[in-house]
């Protein structure tokens, strides 16, 4: 999950829900007592790897025309 740090991502969950935000932290399975990796998005949300069906980078059009 380290490849997503400080990038805008879209998480799709197994139940079909989708959440978008900037990934700002993660923990490996070895770092957690229940042996499940997690990723933190924004300042308030932590998602478990076993809840996640897919993570993808979200690209925004950063080109401005003056």
Q: What is the pLDDT of residues 1-34, one digit of tens each?
A: 788 899 999 999 999 999 999 999 999 999 999 9
52-57 vs 38-41, strand pairing mode: unpaired
Query: In the chain, where are the structural domains located?
Result: 2-57
CATH 2.30.30.100 corresponds to the domain 2-57:
yes
Q: Is the dihedral of CA 38, 6, 1, 31 positive or negative?
A: negative
Prediction pTM value: 0.81
Name the band, by pLDDT with cuts 50, 70 and 90, for residue 65: low
């Amino acid at each position: 999950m380290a490849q997503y740090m400080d990038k805008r991502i879209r998480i799709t969950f197994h139940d079909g829900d989708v959440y978008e935000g900037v990934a700002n932290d993660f923990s490996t399975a070895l770092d957690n007592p229940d042996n499940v990796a997690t990723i933190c998005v924004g300042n308030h949300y932590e998602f478990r790897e076993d809840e996640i069906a897919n993570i993808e980078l979200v690209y925004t059009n950063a080109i401005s025309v003056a």
